[in-house]
Amino acid sequence: MTLRLKTTCAILCLWMAQSCAADNYSENPAALALVDEMVREEGFDREQLLQLFAQAERQDSALKAMTRPAEKSKAWWEYREIFADKDREKGGVAFFNEHREALARAESELGVPAEIIVAIIGVETRYGRVTGGYRVIDALSSMAFDYPTELSNHVARSKFFTSELKNYLLLTREQSFDPLDLTGSYAGAMGLGQFMPSSYREYAIDFDGDDIIDIWNNPVDAIGSVANYFKRHGWRSGETVVVAADAPADAPEQLFVKGRKDLKPQRSVAEFAAAGIVAREEVDPEAMATAMKFELREGYEYWLGLHNFYVITRYNHSAMYAMSVYQLSQRLAAEVGR
């Protein structure tokens, strides 16, 4: 064999090895470090984890999707047409009627309105029709070990997804699930309510008493788990969620929610009223609230979100998300006669 041919073969072999290694995580340094940690701290079997990561596949489409979420940067009037549409309303009525008993029990035992539970499941997965087609092990491994470096928060997000991957390994062991079987979104969110693994371990519950917490195929467990999530985040039964408001065109912009850091109520309804942002219905002036200014096709609409509105944002840290859930819930309540 000539030197040139040997060199070509060597390069080809090296390229093939690198290509194969890039498609899975069997030799990824961060994955191997995680294996060491899970063996040392959680008592996992090293060989089983190595075999698992050898079968975990990098998902470029998931990584690409992370750089441009579909609803990012949309105006309110566009956003709500995506998440509070007629299809979700129709599907929500059907889901409500099919699962009235479980919803009534969740409302009675956990204090969360049935229409809020249904609206969450509708916004997240269209009542289980769109739960994601990625293997969770693939999605979480891709995000943990290959999170796009061009994104400014890639270090923090990589740590977040590494933590979620740890929780995924723990929950599959705790529930005796095969970690290669479960599917979810491109970010690793799972089931009808799209729980991340840490949320599953903390809030998902066996609501039908069969000793299995199945939020993928069991709507009863999904209903109870969503309700438990809201209860654990402080939902106050019977309290107002949000009220429409009026505001002058020159109301200071700093009074309105701009991002996730502004979602927690910091001012009272009375303080907003003094600044000209006035609720259209009677509400406790001492109640803490956040003010929101949403863009319409023409002009703006204004809202004051109260404590329970903030609780909805704990599910997804977005005022527009929470408003979509709330408005869909109100349509569903009207349709089913609540």
Which positions are catalytic? 124
DSSP code, position 264 = S
234 burial type by CB count under 10 A (0-12 exposed, 13-18 middle, 19+ buried) = exposed
How many whole angstroms separate alpha carbon 203 and alpha carbon 206? 10
SS3 312: helix
Angstrom distances, CA of residue 175 to CA of 167, 183, 201, 206, 298: 12, 15, 10, 11, 51
The answer to whether 162 and 85 have CB atoms below 8 angstroms apart is no
The answer to whether 128 and 201 have CB atoms below 8 angstroms apart is no
How many whole angstroms separate alpha carbon 13 and alpha carbon 220? 52
Q: Which amino acid is at 92?
A: G
Token pair for 130: 């769109």
DSSP H or E segment with residue 41: helix 29-42
* Of residues 200, 133, 132, the one with CA closest to residue 164: 200
Q: Which amino acid is at 222?
A: A
Place of tokens 């109520």: 265
